[in-house]
Amino acid sequence: MKISVLGCGRWGSFIAWYLVRHGHEICQWGREGKSFEQLKSGKNEYVELDPGINLTGDLKFALEFGDVVVISISAQSLRAFTKEIVATADVKDKIFVLCMKGIEAETGKRLSEVLVDCGILSDKIAVWVGPGHIQAFTQGQPNCMVIDSRNHALVKMLADAFRSDLIRFYYGDDLIGSEIGAAAKNVMGIAAGMLDGGNMSTLKGPLMARGAREVSRLIKAMGGNELSAYGLCHLGDYETTLFSEYSNNRAFGIKFVRKQPFDKLAEGAATAKAMKMLGEKYGVDLPITNAVYAILYENKNPMEEFKKVFSRSTRKEF
């Protein structure tokens, strides 16, 4: 395949590195700035730039290069960036793959919905989600991920084309569940970090069980399959989010509780705002999400909020 990868941060640089090694022709685009300059020098902190990758700062060139366009940027920047894409080139025949996890904070819309709002056809949109850290992948440690879309033929085509011994791709069949589950696990990652930072790590077990359950209720209310919360997109991603030293969201939670600065992207912070909005819209109780929101946006005491969550009235587990 001829594939354009838009974004040259952590995931964008890995995706280009991964796909070129598995036989695809790759053009990687980045906006002028620190991440782009690092790659122009030949490497960043995660990967070395493969000589087979066409690295460019020309968005029009990148969009015209690939039949498949993979986007990996900050979720909250997607709407403005997609408008820029549509204004830059004719992309009506392109396939778009979103390798990013989030929900638009101001609207509560899933990222595939944002693309549709900007004029991209829904049958040409797929998402790439699931567990895995770049630091482990580049050391040759395998994992499993998911491709999902409304277009099941597109799911099969992309998963088969991207599959390797390093990443086994599964066919998704619940776009709502895959997108919400993938985004929501970052909120749970922040919660896990806050528990670690507050010396309450023993509550990460209940967090895993109860967090997946509240997300499953939201997915069901939105029209998805509640069992998706227990698949790779959400619960399957917990190890890399709630426990891994490489998790930005967990690290953010730890440092937030300890009042230490954090200078990397933690998508779960904006996603907590979006999920609170969705919980209210669909009438779904999201106690862990609401606790994270109250801590981040209402200046509530972290440990007091979590104590409230885990001391709610006794009831059946599910």
What are the structure tokens assigned to 198, written together? 């507050």
Q: Report the candidate in 272, 278, 277 with the shortest Cα–Cα distance to residue 291.
A: 272
Q: Are strands 143-149 and 125-129 parallel, antiparallel or unpaired?
A: antiparallel
Class of residue 22 by CB neighbours under 10 A (exposed 0-12, middle 13-18, buried 19+): middle
Identify the CA nearest to 240 among candidates 229, 230, 255, 251.
Answer: 251
Q: Which residue from 173, 298, 288 is spatially nearest to 242, judged by alpha carbons?
A: 288
> In 3-state terms, what secondary structure has residue 68?
strand
Q: Which two tokens stand for residue 297?
A: 């946006």
DSSP helix/strand/coil, 309: helix
Q: Which of 94, 185, 220, 273 is catalytic?
A: 185
Q: And the tokens for 172?
A: 């998704």
185 counts as catalytic: yes
How far apart are alpha carbons 191 and 188 in whole angstroms?
A: 5
Enumerate residues 6+ apart whose C-beta is below 8 A from 249: 186, 187, 189, 190, 193, 241, 266, 267, 268
Quick one: DSSP state of residue 44? -
Taking only Cα atoms into account, the Rg of the chain, rounded to an integer number of angstroms, comes to 19
Q: Which residues are catalytic?
A: 185
